[in-house]
Chains A and B, each alone.
Chain A
Amino acid sequence: MWISILIAVATVTGIALASGLLLGFASRRLPSGSESLVDQVNDVLPQLQCAKCGYPGCRPYAAAIVNEDAAINLCPPGGDETVRRLASLLDREPLPLADAASTVSMSSLAVIDEPLCIGCGWCREVCPVDAIIGAHHYMHTVIARECTGCELCVTRCPVDCIQLVTAR
């Protein structure tokens, strides 16, 4: 009888040991879950790429939230809804929006006043989604379908010929 008890104990201990080793190995050697967590956070962000959070785009901000413990309330276009969703995804405290006065939103669209455009191409350089086209020294224009309304080109324009309009 002792033998069978010993066999049972040994088997269970063996299984526990084996799975412990396996899990330990997996957690060390296999790529950690943080990569997919960045993607999950990125999915929650509104993808305006407006850089209002201080990072050069939504994905860099997502990476900063996950890896550098950046605050989750830095995204003005996402609003409180995004903060709430981030809080529940990451199990953090929801915070009030840091820059609640910002007006940047997905429903706006940049429009170039074309007769005023001098063709410097600065807006094209700064556009995070390549939604501005034009040849150097010639008129530039915005591809309305692709514009996210991030406001980056507005401040960059040296002749102030870009305006945001509510389009959608």
Chain B
Amino acid sequence: MSVAPTYDLGKLNGGLRLPGEKEKSTARSIQVVPVPHQLVLPLTQHSGNPAQPVIGIGEKVLKGQLIADADGALSAPVHASSSGKVVAIEPWPVSRRYGEAAPCVIIECDGRDEAFEPVEPIVPYDSLPPDSLLQKILQGGIVGLGGAVFPTAQKLMQANTQPLELLLLNGVECEPFISCDDMLMREQASEVLKGAQILMYALGLGKCYLAIESDKSDALHRIAAVLAELNDERIVLKLVPTIYPSGGEDQLVQLITNREVPSGGLPTDVGCLVQNVGTAAAVYRWICQGEPLISRVTTLTGDGVTTPMNVLVRLGTTVADVVAFAGGYNDRAKQLVIGGQMMGKSVTTDSVPVVKATNCILVMSRPAPPLDERPCIRCGECAVVCPVVLQPQELYWFACADDEVKLRQHGLTDCIECGCCDLVCPSHIALTASFRQAKARIHELADEKARAERARRRFEARTMRKEIDEQKREVELAEQKRAAVTAGPKEIQDMVERARLRKRPPERTKKGPED
């Protein structure tokens, strides 16, 4: 097995060589965080609809038990990550881009960590037909652990409808501080590779590339050694240069296959399916060991924590508990970021839980100094580094002008918000932030438009109904009038009688108290 650099790579547009900060957190092996006293499990740990709770408040749950089931196509189920009692289902602060709180199931742990009756592992995995295997993966609550948290089974099923030729395992962790995939590959290499075999079987693929960045030599050697043991010639290692953001899905496809994912498209459009290495390991654990996605490896790092490390943590453990386990904050801790330095989200409280998407907890000594924003000088540096080959300086103008049409034309929706343009901008313009806002605004406008359209249709339907009612009434009146004109004395007598009956007040059955 050769581990020499591979030179048959495509070209990544733009990108930056960022100083690596990974050594701090890779000095120790993965530490296991003990069961906390309380777990907070958000119902939205994936990209689709919130999962629907299937347990009641006060109920006892066991480790691995299903507590909320998927709702709709892009949803994923949630499992209890330890045993205990459900004490509440209520909004709780979470780290996600839009909104600050989400409905969460809160479990008070009993510390016994009793496992739910184990799900029968499927050994060997190819005893099931690929379709049933996909269904099975769906039930495990497994989502893409790279950060986009797209339900894995859905991704696989959608991919299955298109001609595929390649499974691409993403072990490229390009964010400077994050090292959880690196450590996972070092310590659980065989899980990752066996997960890859399961995925290949489920998709009927005969080729898998595992992409690793050139600065992860330990992980590379470990994977290569395990691969040699497995003796699976379908899996090939690919070494990619350490350039941010080579780990982006589309960027990696470009780098490995030299094919460009079309605007608004997915890697499956060019025959590739990309999965994170952590996702592959999670698939292996669910299929072959019967353990749903209830824990993940997360990097705890930054110069605000006493001992940076990678931890294996139960989903739902709060960040405060994780930091306390690792020795707490030091006195330089000033800012808490969930996710990496480049694409992470700053949060205001450490009571947010670790969720399926949490790949890093970053405690910075100070927030980045707010440099004065100066006018754009049109130097074009941002366009040079943009990995999606956009023109950030142009987009910035349109975002300021709120020009939705131009923003779409210039490909705002293809922006991956990597933050490269921010770093190189000599005027310190917060480009990525303005793009995020503009995206949200476009979203909002589309939403408003859809609502206006619905209101218009309902108004028109109502107007039409009123008209029809009016016509009916007119016809009825005309009918009555005609009947009155042509009526004989007997009918007229009847009509008068009916009118008199109508006018008479209802008879009292009892005397009122006022008499």
Write the residues of chain A forming the contact surface with B, with a CB cutoff of 8 angstroms.
42, 46-49, 57-59, 106, 128-131, 146, 148
Contact = CB atoms under 8 A, between A and B. Distances in A.
Nearest to B454: A146
Q: Which residue of B454, B455, B460 has the most chain A CB atoms within 10 A of its CB atom?
A: B455
Given A42-B456, A129-B458, A146-B458, 11 more contacts: A47-B451, A47-B455, A47-B456, A57-B459, A57-B463, A58-B456, A59-B456, A128-B459, A130-B458, A130-B462, A148-B455
Interface size class of B (residues with CB under 8 A): 10 to 19
Interface in B445-467: 448, 451-456, 458-463
A53 to B, nearest CB: 14
B222 to A, nearest CB: 51
A46 B454 CA distance: 11
Contacts of A146: 454-455, 458
A48 B456 CA distance: 8
Contacts of A47: 451-453, 455-456, 459
A103 B96 CA distance: 32
A106 B451 CA distance: 9
A107 to B, nearest CB: 9
Nearest to A81: B402
B462 A129 contact: yes
Which 3 A-B residue pairs are closest in the complex by CB-CB distance? A47-B452, A129-B458, A47-B455
A114 B80 CA distance: 38
Contacts of A57: 459, 463
16 contacts: A47-B451, A47-B455, A47-B456, A49-B455, A49-B459, A57-B463, A58-B456, A106-B448, A128-B459, A129-B455, A129-B462, A130-B461, A130-B462, A131-B458, A146-B454, A146-B458
A76 to B, nearest CB: 15
Nearest to A47: B452
Interface string B216-238: 00000000000000000000000
Contacts of A48: 455
Contacts of B460: 59
A46 B456 CA distance: 9
Contacts of A106: 448, 451-452
A43 B448 CA distance: 12
Contacts of B455: 47-49, 129, 146, 148
A131 B458 CA distance: 9
A84 B380 CA distance: 34
Contacts of B461: 130
A19 B360 CA distance: 72
A130 B459 CA distance: 8
A49 B459 CA distance: 7
Contacts of B453: 47
A58 B453 CA distance: 12
Contacts of B463: 57, 59
A97 B243 CA distance: 53
A66 to B, nearest CB: 16
Q: Which residue of A42, A47, A48, A57 has the most chain B CB atoms within 10 A of its CB atom?
A: A47
A31 B232 CA distance: 72
A20 B341 CA distance: 70
A122 B97 CA distance: 42
Contacts of A148: 451, 455
A47 B459 CA distance: 9
A42 B453 CA distance: 10
Q: Which residue of B448, B456, B459, B462 has the most chain A CB atoms within 10 A of its CB atom?
A: B459
B447 to A, nearest CB: 8
A59 B462 CA distance: 13
Nearest to B402: A81
A57 B460 CA distance: 10
A57 B461 CA distance: 13
Contacts of A131: 458
Nearest to B452: A47
Interface in B431-490: 448, 451-456, 458-463
B459 A59 contact: yes
Nearest to B453: A47
B448 A129 contact: no
B49 to A, nearest CB: 15
Contacts of B462: 128-130
B467 to A, nearest CB: 12
A58 B459 contact: yes
A55 to B, nearest CB: 12
Contact of B452 (A46, A128, A130): A46
Interface string B388-417: 000000000000000000000000000000
Nearest to B447: A168
Contacts of B454: 146
A48 B459 CA distance: 9
Contacts of A128: 459, 462
Contacts of B456: 42, 47, 58-59
A49 B448 CA distance: 14
A81 to B, nearest CB: 10
Contacts of A42: 456
Contacts of A58: 456, 459
B394 to A, nearest CB: 23
A48 B334 CA distance: 47
A127 to B, nearest CB: 8
Nearest to B448: A106
A130 B456 CA distance: 11
A146 B461 CA distance: 13
